[in-house]
């Protein structure tokens, strides 16, 4: 059961979905399981990039601290996603911090194994480069949105992405199954907590969103798409 779960987690990541069955077997045989407690610092900016993580359960926040002490959330990594793959490949220091948002279980893949693994399997480097190029394009698109969209647009895009990645049907809407702090959400849309809370109140009053047990529920997906002009 555990081996099947590990395989499904890796296959759910575009980074590893390109692997053939024999390649996947070899990778899993060399992966280690690690349990992280809520609030645990997994790695810090500047640390050696000696491993990457695949999330089996839980949530990891990737972020940084600005020169004036402000925390910036760059990404939130959930089950089936990976973190640390760039440093795994180039061996350079980490470019951000990673912290467990809640109790989390990960698979650890070490660089000392992964680089020889790449060289042994013809064509694998080319397949992985394609995935990394796609990720770079999506990062560029996200930066463009931050520059061009107003706050309601950025928040609508964030909620729709969270719904696509972590949403489940709930009554007449979609319940986002991860819980992010107000700080994390404001960081994701490059805004203050006060302005994000104000916009959330507008949408709650309009019954576009709601809450359930601390989780955000999107009650009117079409309204969020209209905010984006879609």
Region(s) of the chain under CATH 1.10.10.10: 149-227
CB atoms within 10 A of CB 44: 14
Looking at per-residue pLDDT, the higher value among 14 and 185 belongs to 185
pLDDT value at residue 148 = 75
Residue 1 predicted with pLDDT over 60 = no
| Confidence (pTM) | 0.73
Query: According to CATH, what is the number of the domain 149-227?
Result: 1.10.10.10
- Least confident range from 99-108, 113-122, 192-201: namely 113-122
pLDDT value at residue 2 = 63
Question: Rounded distance, CA 31 to CA 53, Å?
Answer: 9
> How large is the average pLDDT for residues 55-76?
80
Tokens 């990645």 locate to 165
The tokens describing 21, both together, are: 């069955």
Architecture of domain 2-142: Sandwich (2.60)
pLDDT value at residue 203 = 95
Region(s) of the chain under CATH 2.60.120.10: 2-142
Question: Rounded distance, CA 134 to CA 137, Å?
Answer: 5
CB atoms within 10 A of CB 165: 15
């Amino acid at each position: 059961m555990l081996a099947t779960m590990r395989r499904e987690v890796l296959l759910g990541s575009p980074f590893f979905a390109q692997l053939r069955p024999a390649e996947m077997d070899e990778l899993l045989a060399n992966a280690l399981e690690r349990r992280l407690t809520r609030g645990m610092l997994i790695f810090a900016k500047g640390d050696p990039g000696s491993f990457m993580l695949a999330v089996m359960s839980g949530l990891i926040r990737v972020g940084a601290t600005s020169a004036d002490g402000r925390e910036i959330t760059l990404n939130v990594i959930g089950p089936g996603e990976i973190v640390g793959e760039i440093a795994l490949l180039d061996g350079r220091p980490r470019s951000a911090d990673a912290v467990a948002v809640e109790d989390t279980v990960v698979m650890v893949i070490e660089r000392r194994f992964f680089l020889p693994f790449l060289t042994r399997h013809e064509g694998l480097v080319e397949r992985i480069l394609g995935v990394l190029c796609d990720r770079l394009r999506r990062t560029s698109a996200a930066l463009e949105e931050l520059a061009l969209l107003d706050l309601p647009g950025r928040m609508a895009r964030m909620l729709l992405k969270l719904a696509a990645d972590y949403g489940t049907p709930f009554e007449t809407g979609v319940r986002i199954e991860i819980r992010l702090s107000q700080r994390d959400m404001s960081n994701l849309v490059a805004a203050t907590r006060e302005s994000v809370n104000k916009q959330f109140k507008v949408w709650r009053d309009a019954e576009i969103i709601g809450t359930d047990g601390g989780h955000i529920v999107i009650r009117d997906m079409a309204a969020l798409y209209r905010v984006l002009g879609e």
